[in-house]
Amino acid sequence: MKKLLISSILIVLSFFVVAQEQKLNIIVFGAHPDDCDIDAGGTSILFSKLGHNVKFVSLTNGDAGHQEMGGGELARIRMAEAQEAGKRFGVTYTVLDNHDGELMPTLENRLKVIREIRKWNADVVIAPRPNDYHPDHRYTGILVQDAAYMVIVPNVAPDVPPLKKNPVFIYSEDGFQKPNPFDPDIAVIIDEVYDQKIYAMAAHKSQFFEWLPWTSGALDKVPEGEKARLEYLANWRLNTPNEKTRACLKKWYGDKAASATRVEGFEICEYGKQPADEEIKRLFPMLK
């Protein structure tokens, strides 16, 4: 009887270990609190709903992004907004204490990125391309690019054990054309979770209903009331898939692609692991 009990416990434990090993670890980098949300929020919700682990990392504390306040006061507000957004997305949200508007691709910051990727034991790393109007966005892309490969080198940031294999590094979608336009390798339909993505993004009140409307001269167009604001944000952030994205959707979803209206696209970075199609399907199990 005792042997049978021990055997049963070992079987349960083995199933638990296998289940843990099958979970994917996804880490998304952005320059500011709210960038990860915009770039990969819907895909992250789908990962989370499937039981995988997702972490958002903002490389700055956002302490310059407002028209009426800044510094420590704003940084505290943006930290609180990020934590609330993380709850709504179902992800872990980390905000690093670098000043907004002052991010540089230094060795110190590269090591911070390497440590974040290693600690999360990442299978997939998502970041912006280093083509952007905002220097913080550009340098976030460069820092994450520079961490690719280095995450497996033991003598770099030796205080954190290196990864045993290089993750897949992918870029989130943007509309910039020079020096080269975004070319999607993966496109994820997020229609079913778009409302949740908008609700989660809306936690960043200081950004989507104050700062960004102010920078575009549209602060007077922001409605009052949660429902009206959610509709406002949903319409504002809705991007129609272009021809390239449609073709990418067709590859992964077949006929289902034709009816998709809300999509997040990703381009594989040359500097990380180069996955074959079957590996992409394993890493993005929502592609079906």
Instruction: Please name which of 173, 195, 169, 156 lies closest in space to residue 45, comparing C-alpha atoms.
Output: 195
Cα torsion angle, 127, 129, 133, 138, sign: positive
Range of the domain at 96: 25-283
Tell me: cis bond preceding 179? Omega within 30 of 0 counts: yes
8 part of a folded domain: no
Length of the chain: 288
Measured between alpha carbons, how far is 186 from 267 in angstroms, rounded to an integer? Answer: 6
CA distance 138 to 95: 18
Is residue 51 assigned to a domain?
yes
206, 63 in Cβ contact below 8 A?
no
Does residue 9 lie within any of the structural domains?
Answer: no
- Indicate whether 254 belongs to any domain: yes
What lies within 8 Å, CB to CB, of 187 at 6+ separation is: 241, 245, 248, 249, 252, 263, 264, 265, 266
Taking the alpha carbons of 110, 114, 117, 119 in that order, is the dihedral positive or negative?
negative
Q: Which residue has the tokens 């390798």?
A: 185
Q: Please give the tally of structural domains in the chain.
A: 1
Provide the residue-wise pLDDT of the chain in tens; the chain has 288 residues.
555 555 555 444 444 443 455 899 999 999 999 999 999 999 999 999 999 999 999 999 999 999 999 999 999 999 999 999 999 999 999 999 999 999 999 999 999 999 999 999 999 999 999 999 999 999 999 999 999 999 999 999 999 999 999 999 999 999 999 999 999 999 999 999 999 999 999 999 999 999 999 999 999 999 999 999 999 999 998 888 999 999 999 999 999 999 999 999 999 999 999 999 999 999 999 998
Domain membership of residue 268 (yes or no) is yes
User: Is 54 contained in some domain?
Assistant: yes
Q: Is 2 part of a structural domain of the chain?
A: no
Question: How does DSSP classify residue 249?
Answer: H
Residue 183: name the closest of 244, 111, 119, 137 by CA: 244
- In the three-class reduction of DSSP (H, G, I as helix; E, B as strand; rest coil), residue 30 is classed as strand
* CATH number for position 76: 3.40.50.10320
Task: Tell me which amino acid residue 60 is.
Answer: T
17 is a domain residue: no
Q: Is 174 helix (H, G, I), strand (E, B) or coil?
A: coil
**Phi, psi angle pair for 82, to nearest 5°:** -65, -40
For the entire predicted model, the pTM comes to 0.92
Q: Which helix (H) or strand (E) holds 258?
A: none
Three-class DSSP category at 121: coil
Tell me the two tokens of residue 218: 């549209």
Terminal Cα-to-Cα distance of the chain (whole angstroms): 45
**Cα→Cα distances 162→43, 115, 148, 268, Å:** 27, 9, 12, 22
CA–CA gap between residue 220 and residue 23 (Å, rounded): 45
